[in-house]
């Protein structure tokens, strides 16, 4: 009897265990997804997913399966919200959510989202109710006469060029349906070429406008401007239509903002009558003010000690009588170490129009642009061998390069960074820029920042083990740009440039999922990446060629498999080896399915050395840190850089722009810097930023483009 009882008990426990084991959903990870995004979709905690999937707290890969625990019910709320694979019922839009974010969350296109919820076509607002039936077929709307249907890849600037109208005219005609970024599937009104952008007593806000500038332009205070236009109290946005009729003033007793043409000399108690009161305008800098005054920075700050702390729009300072000229970018600084107002060379021009790089980035970084905060300021710091005076003086820069030619890469970096700073200011982002000179901050950097979010960029540091400790009064993040910083401080380090190890690992992981025969060809006795290759592909075969790239008799035939796809991983830096190896491989294509693979983009030879026809025939797969398909955006950036600096941007200038602009977007979010890293991928004109946490306080950028040459002229990006 006891045996039967034991058997029954075991069966019951086994059944219960089996049911418990199946109490999860198998989710196939899509490109760009994170554990946080997946947890939000299924209504479970991140830790619950971590517990079911050991290792997922470090990294997850697109294409693999993730076990997601089933929640007790479908996603519900007090509003009877239901979200499942087929329907979405009574979902209430929350503040900060976007159409793009909702389309990804619910697994539908923006066009389908708008098709079934026409009340959100013109604008998505917090409190809107969303209902979806995913079984309903999506209909593709057709644009009527005088309208344009937005498709993937289009920009406002490009659409305006198609119809021969200005960008301002297009934005004005669609002010009620445009947010900060263009939506795929939107229908835009195409105005007549001769249409006006504003009417009497009416003004359409342009990108880059500020409340301070508009109040000054229309002869009213900011309070009066907001009283007439309550929709801008929280935030001023491009496309807002303003009532600027100032014939009736609600508070005549208020004093309007002081204008430059009404500035008078300082009072009689002054020690000199050669100075006058001067009101600092938005975007002016300490460097620019000193240049305008015809003084050195030291002379100007001696005259106006408060400028040592910060440069604030609206503050009144002493300036020589007769000072005139246009304003420059405002970037005040506060720090206990050597600082500068802007990392700006003497030949950088101000950007008054919509910045091309801002337009490029807004098309690719919807999530970041949707949650920008302009009301509060943040702090951006650069760790550099240059002081502000040395960086702003052509003579000083040349003198330092004469001592060490390697300093040129820092100058290039800061020139790229300056374009990023100018681009960020066209978005009305509020930030202060500070420069910390290396030889002043030898062992410790003390930062007294007034900002709640700060980041310090450290480019190309060669003494990583001696990086100073940081004592900061406010939260700060370290952005490592090829510096490999080591610090014991409790500060997060974000290594922003994807390493060759990550390029190799991601490429090998892709190969491992294809069930192919893998053959590694090297001119060394041991392939350089043999251990890594065997970790991900333990059945890989290794062939050695001689110094000219020739195989031993029958070695290649014996390694190839006629019944499977053959990935030939090329692991040599010698051009002659590549030429002879690819010639041999092309001779085997009639009997074998062969694709060439390189694990590092650095192994790709110049086109003058090897024709890419070989790569198209062998359908080469390789990892790229820079998107080779994004030629238009890259060309736009290069043209802008060349217009300003009269030279093509170097690789270091490219890093200066992409990393700086991405950092500025992230420290200007409504969420913390670390949260934006954990939840949001981004792409700038050249680089992809896909950070993964590796261990405490360290994040690696794992963003690469896995590219494959087509047999015809072109490339495709592979799903990793």
pLDDT tens, 325-347? 433 333 333 333 333 333 333 33
For the packed helices 35-42 and 99-106, what is the interaxial angle rounded to 10 degrees? 70
pLDDT of residue 647: 85
For the packed helices 651-667 and 408-425, what is the interaxial angle rounded to 10 degrees? 40
pLDDT surpasses 80 at 370? yes
pLDDT surpasses 80 at 27? yes
Among 281-295, 485-499, 685-699, the range scoring the smallest mean pLDDT is: 281-295
Average pLDDT on 366-373 reads: 86
pLDDT of residue 342: 35
pLDDT of residue 367: 82
Among 225-229, 307-311, 374-378, 395-399, the range scoring the smallest mean pLDDT is: 307-311
Percent of the chain surpassing pLDDT 90: 18
Average pLDDT, the chain: 76
pLDDT of residue 457: 94
Strands 202-204 and 241-243 turn out to be antiparallel
**How open is the CA angle 459-465-468, to the nearest 5 degrees?**
70
pLDDT of residue 140: 65
pLDDT of residue 694: 84
User: What span, in angstroms and rounded, lies between the C-alpha atoms of 503 and 505?
Assistant: 6
Asked: is 356-498+633-689 a CATH 1.10.10 domain? The reply is: no
CATH number, span 22-72: 3.10.350.10
Angular region, 107: left φ>0, alpha ψ -120 to 50, beta rest: left
Tens digits of per-residue pLDDT, 130-180?
988 888 877 766 677 778 888 777 777 778 878 888 777 777 677 656 655
Question: Of the ranges 100-104, 220-224, 572-576, which is most confident?
Answer: 572-576
Phi, psi at residue 278, to the nearest 5°?
Answer: -135, 130
CA 665 to chain centre: 7
- Give residue 76's pLDDT band: very low, low, confident or very high (50, 70, 90): very low
pLDDT of residue 223: 74
Whole-number CA gyration radius for the chain: 30
User: What span, in angstroms and rounded, lies between the C-alpha atoms of 160 and 189?
Assistant: 11
Q: Which CATH superfamily is domain 82-133 in?
A: LysM domain (3.10.350.10)
CATH number, span 260-320: 3.10.350.10
User: What span, in angstroms and rounded, lies between the C-alpha atoms of 382 and 436?
Assistant: 6
pLDDT of residue 322: 67
pLDDT of residue 434: 86
Residues ≥6 apart with Cβ < 8 Å to 223: 251, 254
**Per-domain residue ranges of the chain:** 22-72, 82-133, 260-320, 356-498+633-689, 500-624
- Give residue 254's pLDDT band: very low, low, confident or very high (50, 70, 90): very low
pLDDT of residue 348: 32
Average pLDDT on 36-44 reads: 75
pLDDT of residue 119: 80
Residues ≥6 apart with Cβ < 8 Å to 446: 335, 336, 337, 471, 472
pTM of the full structure: 0.53
For the chain, the maximum distance between any two Cα atoms, rounded to a whole number of angstroms, is: 113
* Residue 231: other Cβ atoms inside 10 A: 12
Domains 82-133 and 260-320 share a fold: yes
CA atoms within 13 A on the CB side of 500: 9
Among 223-232, 433-442, 467-476, the range scoring the smallest mean pLDDT is: 433-442
Question: Of the ranges 30-39, 334-343, 363-372, which is most confident?
Answer: 363-372
- Give residue 298's pLDDT band: very low, low, confident or very high (50, 70, 90): low
- Give residue 593's pLDDT band: very low, low, confident or very high (50, 70, 90): very high
pLDDT surpasses 70 at 201? no
pLDDT surpasses 80 at 652? yes
pLDDT of residue 251: 33
pLDDT of residue 203: 76
**Helix and strand counts by DSSP (H, E) for the chain:** 24, 29
User: What span, in angstroms and rounded, lies between the C-alpha atoms of 613 and 713?
Assistant: 9
Question: What DSSP assignment string belongs to 189-251?
Answer: E---TT--S--TTEEEPPTT--HHHHHHHTT--HHHHHHH-GGGSS---TT-EEE---SS-S-
Average pLDDT on 410-432 reads: 88
CATH number, span 500-624: 3.40.1010
- Give residue 626's pLDDT band: very low, low, confident or very high (50, 70, 90): confident
């Amino acid at each position: 009897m006891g045996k039967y009882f034991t058997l029954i008990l075991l069966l019951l426990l086994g059944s219960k265990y089996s049911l418990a084991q199946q109490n999860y959903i198998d989710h196939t990870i899509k490109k760009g997804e994170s554990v946080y995004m997946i947890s939000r979709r299924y209504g479970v905690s991140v830790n619950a997913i971590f517990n079911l999937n050991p290792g997922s707290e470090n990294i997850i890969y697109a294409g693999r399966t993730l076990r997601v625990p089933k929640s007790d019910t479908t996603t519900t709320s007090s509003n009877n919200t239901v979200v499942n694979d087929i329907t979405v019922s009574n979902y209430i839009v929350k503040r900060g959510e976007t159409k793009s974010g909702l389309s990804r969350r619910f697994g539908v296109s923006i066009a389908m989202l708008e098709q079934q919820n026409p009340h959100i076509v013109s604008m998505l607002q917090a409190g809107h109710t969303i209902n979806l039936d995913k079984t309903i077929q999506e209909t593709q709307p057709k644009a009527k006469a005088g309208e344009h249907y937005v498709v993937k890849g289009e920009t406002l600037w490009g659409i305006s060029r198609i119809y021969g109208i200005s960008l301002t005219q297009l934005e004005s005609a669609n002010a009620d349906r445009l947010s900060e970024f263009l939506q795929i599937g939107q229908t835009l009104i195409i105005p007549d070429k001769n249409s006006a952008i504003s009417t009497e007593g009416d003004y359409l806000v342009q990108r880059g406008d500020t409340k301070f500038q508009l109040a000054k332009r229309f002869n009213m205070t900011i309070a009066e401007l907001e009283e007439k236009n309550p929709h801008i109290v929280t935030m001023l946005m491009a496309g807002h239509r303003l009532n600027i009729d100032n014939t009736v003033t609600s508070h005549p007793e208020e004093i309007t903002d002081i204008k430059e043409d009404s500035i008078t000399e300082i009072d009689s108690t002054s020690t000199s009558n050669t100075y006058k009161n001067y009101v600092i305008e938005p975007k002016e800098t300490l460097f620019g003010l000193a240049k305008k005054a015809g003084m050195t920075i030291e002379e100007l700050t001696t005259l106006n000690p408060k400028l040592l702390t910060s440069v604030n729009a609206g503050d009144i300072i002493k300036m020589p009588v007769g000072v005139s000229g246009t304003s420059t970018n405002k970037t005040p600084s506060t720090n206990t170490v050597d600082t500068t107002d802007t990392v700006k060379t003497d030949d950088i021009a101000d950007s008054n129009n919509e910045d091309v790089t801002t337009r490029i980035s807004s098309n690719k970084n919807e999530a970041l642009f949707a949650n920008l905060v302009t009301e509060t300021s943040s702090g951006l710091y650069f760790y550099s061998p240059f002081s502000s005076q040395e960086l702003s003086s052509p003579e000083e820069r040349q003198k330092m390069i004469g001592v060490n030619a390697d300093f040129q890469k820092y100058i290039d970096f800061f020139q790229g960074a300056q374009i990023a700073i100018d681009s960020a200011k066209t978005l009305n982002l509020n930030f202060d820029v500070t420069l910390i000179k290396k030889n002043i901050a030898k062992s410790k950097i003390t930062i007294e920042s007034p900002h709640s979010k700060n980041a310090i960029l450290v480019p190309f540091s060669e003494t990583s083990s001696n990086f100073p400790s940081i004592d900061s009064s406010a939260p700060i993040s370290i952005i490592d740009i090829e510096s490999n910083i080591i610090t014991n401080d409790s500060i997060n380090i974000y290594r922003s440039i994807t390493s060759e190890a990550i390029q190799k690992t991601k490429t090998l992981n892709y190969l491992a999922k294809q069930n192919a025969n893998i053959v590694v060809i090297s001119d060394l006795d041991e392939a350089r990446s043999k251990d890594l290759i065997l970790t991900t592909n333990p059945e890989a075969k290794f062939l050695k060629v001689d110094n000219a790239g020739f195989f031993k008799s029958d070695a290649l035939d014996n390694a190839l498999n006629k019944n499977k796809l053959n990935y030939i991983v090329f692991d040599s830096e010698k051009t002659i080896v590549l030429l002879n190896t690819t010639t041999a491989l092309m001779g085997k294509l009639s009997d074998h399915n062969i694709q060439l693979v390189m694990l590092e983009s650095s192994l790709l030879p110049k086109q003058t050395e090897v024709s890419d026809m070989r790569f198209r025939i062998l359908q080469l797969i390789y990892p790229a840190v820079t998107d080779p398909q994004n030629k238009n955006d890259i060309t736009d950036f290069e043209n802008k850089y060349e217009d300003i600096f009269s030279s093509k941007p170097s690789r270091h200038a490219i890093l200066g722009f992409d990393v700086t602009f991405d950092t500025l977007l992230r420290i200007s979010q409504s969420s913390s810097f670390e949260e934006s890293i954990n939840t949001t991928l981004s792409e700038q004109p050249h680089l992809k930023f896909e950070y993964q946490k590796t261990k405490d306080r360290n994040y690696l950028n794992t963003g690469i483009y896995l590219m494959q040459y087509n047999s015809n002229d072109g490339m495709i990006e592979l799903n990793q």
